[in-house]
């Protein structure tokens, strides 16, 4: 009996041990269990993390310095592609997926297996990627006054970004550009805060619409076809003095709240996952070190619960000159409330400095925990723990015809007709498709890179037609006109050439070269050098429509009187047929200026409502036209009505004569 009892007790002990260790194993995996509440998963994971693992989550590095080993040993929380940073030239969606999965596998091999989040700029479509659909830049979209269109563009962009295995975008830019001399003005929807607020609907497209009864401020990403978005650049980046990039915004608290802040409130209500801090300063205080605004207002007052990310080497620029006291920059930015730092190269130095600051009790552990909890909240919310690896199931979404059709719609709705005919009785537009011969001229007529602008394939954009796929305006014209119409193209024709040919009319396409950020800052705001010459040579001889390709209003006053029709086409992107859709009357012009068009740069800054407001074309201006189809229908209807009226009169006269006779 005693032997049997001992055996029984042994079996019971083994069962108890197996049960207890099983429970421990379940407990250990709690943060990986999608059935657990997100708060429980975060708490469980945080309790297991070392300081080094927490600080690693706060680091974002560029793909050029990332590899599986670095991800594993440094516990890196995020990787990004800077402007133009790609796996290889003309990389396919599969190339992107393979690269990102390599980094992700390294992260998953770390002790706790926390997935990294890959981020990329997608400011007008998936703009870094070959063959992607490039939508009009925000300066054009603001002229549509169409938040639903913005939402649909967001959804299409999310699909194309996910097609390459990327779950996070640094978009939208919700700056309110108050001075077109700013090199980033084309990233702004409008000088008017209300339009910018309305266009934050793009966030619902990127991330998905938040569920009913969602808690205010909490991030939301609706599954594997959506991406985490980033509202940028907090705050006041569009108001810097003289439009100088990264400069000082001089404005009182009321002005900051009423002009530059409203779109952030709307973005937070829509569940935006992240917010990026601006390089710029507010009344002399660097935003990357501004605790009152980043922690005090954004996090505490607006109740933003996602994570705050720095701009590219943004913390370095807290000091003047940049990087002159890196340890101080790390301290100032983290204390201000920056949660994730876009390093992007010297991650070892950042990790060492932040670790020392925490261990020296200069930065409290509570601040580190707050940052990491916010980062983990976004990662859990977007399902990154359940689906850390990308696949190729969405590769056909990249540059799909459906998305190109949407971009074409966006182009035609964004165009603003500023002039149509030298007098109201003789409008030039819509142009006839069937004529003997027409001239297409200008530096921007057959240049896809110029058409797309900065932040396209490369950081500063490109020139020519080979860097990605799309339709130039010249190609669109050739495919739109009647086959019998001869289309002659000259980049910069002289006066004699124009005179010696019997052109029915001319389409002149001129504007700015591509640029991004500080490289685009301009005090002169003039078009490319050949532009005025082309306008004078062509429009002085033949009826012409001038199409301006630019990221902002530019100087056009000296030439307006010689132009028959003038169109602001902004930076339309890859779908040039959106331009010809309205030039030739398949659709009517509907766009309205979301920016004031000045007479002279001496007037700047000048925005609607200013006491000295005296524009060439005011905010909200935009002539409208009817499509040819509608014109024909209306004239046909009118003709039928006239014929019916004549018939009625004749019948009435006949009856009258009969009765009197």
Kindly report the CATH number that applies to the domain delimited by 415-625.
3.40.50.1700
pLDDT at 275 over 70: yes
pLDDT tens sequence across 36-80: 999 999 999 999 999 999 999 999 999 999 999 999 999 999 999
Side-chain half-sphere CA neighbours of 55 within 13 A: 24
More confident call, 627 vs 192: 192
pLDDT at 5 over 90: no
Percent of the chain with pLDDT over 70: 92
187 is an active site residue? no
Mean pLDDT for 220-232 is: 98
Instruction: Answer yes or no: CATH 3.40.720.10 is held by domain 38-397.
Output: no
Tokens 């708060």 locate to 39
Those residues with Cβ within 8 angstroms of residue 257's Cβ, 6 or more apart along the chain or in another chain: none
Residue tagged active-site, from 160, 266, 311, 512: 311
Specify the pLDDT at position 632.
73
Residue tagged active-site, from 146, 192, 517, 521: 517
CA 648 – CA 655 distance, rounded (Å): 11
Mean pLDDT for 194-203 is: 98
Those residues with Cβ within 8 angstroms of residue 242's Cβ, 6 or more apart along the chain or in another chain: 179, 181, 523, 604, 605
160 is an active site residue? no
pLDDT at 344 over 80: yes
- Can you state the percent helix, strand and coil of the chain, rounding each to 5? 45, 10, 45
More confident call, 23 vs 286: 286
Query: In this structure, are residues 72 and 109 in contact, taking their beta carbons and an 8 Å threshold?
Result: yes
Percent of the chain with pLDDT over 90: 89
pLDDT at 639 over 70: no
Mean pLDDT for 66-95 is: 97
Single pTM value for the model: 0.93
Specify the pLDDT at position 213.
87
Domain coordinates of the chain in residue numbers? 38-397, 415-625, 628-660
How many residues in total does the chain contain? 661
Closest CA to 62 of 74, 80, 48, 36: 80
pLDDT tens sequence across 564-616: 999 999 999 999 999 999 999 999 999 999 999 999 999 999 999 999 999 99
Those residues with Cβ within 8 angstroms of residue 352's Cβ, 6 or more apart along the chain or in another chain: none
């Amino acid at each position: 009996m005693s032997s049997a009892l001992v055996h029984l007790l042994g079996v019971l002990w083994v069962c108890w041990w197996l049960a207890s260790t099983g429970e421990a194993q379940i407990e250990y995996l709690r943060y990986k269990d999608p059935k657990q509440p997100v708060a429980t998963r975060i708490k469980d994971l945080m309790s297991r993390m070392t300081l080094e693992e927490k600080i690693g989550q706060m680091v974002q590095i560029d793909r050029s310095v990332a590899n599986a080993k670095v991800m594993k040993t440094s516990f890196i929380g995020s990787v990004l592609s800077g402007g133009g940073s790609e796996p290889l030239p003309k990389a396919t969606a599969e190339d992107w997926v393979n690269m990102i999965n390599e980094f992700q596998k390294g992260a998953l091999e770390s002790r706790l297996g926390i997935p990294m989040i890959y981020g990329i700029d997608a400011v007008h479509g998936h703009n870094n990627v070959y063959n992607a659909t490039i939508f009009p830049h925000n300066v054009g979209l603001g002229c549509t006054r169409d938040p639903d269109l913005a939402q649909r563009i967001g959804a299409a962009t999310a699909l194309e970004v996910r097609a390459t295995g990327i779950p996070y975008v640094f978009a939208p830019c919700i700056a309110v550009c108050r001075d077109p001399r700013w090199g980033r003005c084309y990233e702004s929807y409008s000088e008017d805060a209300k339009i910018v607020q309305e266009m934050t609907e793009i966030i619902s497209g990127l991330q998905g619409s938040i569920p009913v009864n969602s808690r205010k401020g909490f991030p939301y990403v609706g599954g594997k076809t959506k991406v985490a978005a980033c509202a940028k650049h907090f705050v006041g980046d569009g108001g810097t003095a003289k439009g100088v990039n990264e400069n000082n915004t001089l404005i009182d608290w009321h002005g900051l709240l009423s002009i530059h802040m409203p779109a952030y409130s709307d973005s937070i209500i829509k569940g935006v996952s992240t917010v990026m801090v601006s390089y710029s300063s507010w009344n002399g205080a660097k935003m990357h070190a501004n605790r009152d605004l980043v922690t005090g207002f954004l996090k505490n007052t607006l109740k933003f619960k996602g994570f705050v990310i720095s701009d590219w080497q943004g913390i370095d620029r807290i000091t003047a000159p940049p990087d002159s006291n890196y340890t101080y920059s790390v301290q100032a930015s983290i204390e201000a409330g920056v949660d994730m730092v876009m390093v992007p190269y010297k991650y070892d130095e950042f990790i060492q400095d932040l670790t020392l600051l925490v261990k020296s009790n200069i930065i409290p552990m509570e601040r580190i925990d707050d940052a990491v909890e916010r980062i983990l909240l976004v990662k859990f919310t977007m399902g990154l723990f359940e689906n850390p690896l990308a696949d190729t199931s969405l590769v056909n979404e990249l540059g799909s015809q459906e998305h190109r059709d949407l971009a074409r719609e966006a182009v035609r709705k964004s165009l603003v007709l500023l002039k149509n005919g030298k007098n109201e009785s003789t409008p030039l537009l819509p142009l006839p498709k069937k004529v003997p011969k027409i001239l297409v001229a200008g530096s921007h007529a057959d240049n896809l890179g110029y058409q797309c602008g900065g932040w396209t394939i490369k950081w500063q954009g490109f020139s020519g037609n080979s860097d990605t796929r799309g339709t130039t305006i010249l190609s669109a014209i050739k495919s739109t006109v009647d086959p019998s119409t001869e289309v002659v193209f000259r980049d910069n024709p002289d006066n004699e050439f124009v005179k010696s040919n019997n052109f029915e009319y001319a389409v002149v396409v001129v504007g700015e070269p591509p640029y991004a950020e500080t490289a685009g800052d301009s005090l002169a705001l003039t078009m490319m050098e050949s532009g005025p010459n082309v306008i004078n040579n062509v429009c002085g001889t033949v009826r012409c429509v001038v199409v301006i390709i630019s990221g902002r209003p530019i100087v056009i006053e000296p030439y307006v009187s010689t132009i028959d029709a003038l169109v602001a086409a902004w930076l339309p992107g890859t779908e040039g047929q959106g331009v010809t859709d309205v030039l030739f009357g398949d659709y009517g012009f509907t766009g309205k200026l979301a920016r004031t068009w000045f007479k002279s740069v001496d007037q700047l800054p000048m925005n609607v409502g200013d006491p000295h407001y005296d524009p060439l074309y005011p905010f909200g201006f935009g002539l409208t036209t009817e499509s040819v189809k509608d014109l024909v229908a209306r004239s046909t209807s009118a003709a039928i009505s006239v014929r019916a009226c004549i018939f009625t009169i004749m019948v009435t006269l006949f009856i009258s004569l009969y009765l009197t006779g």
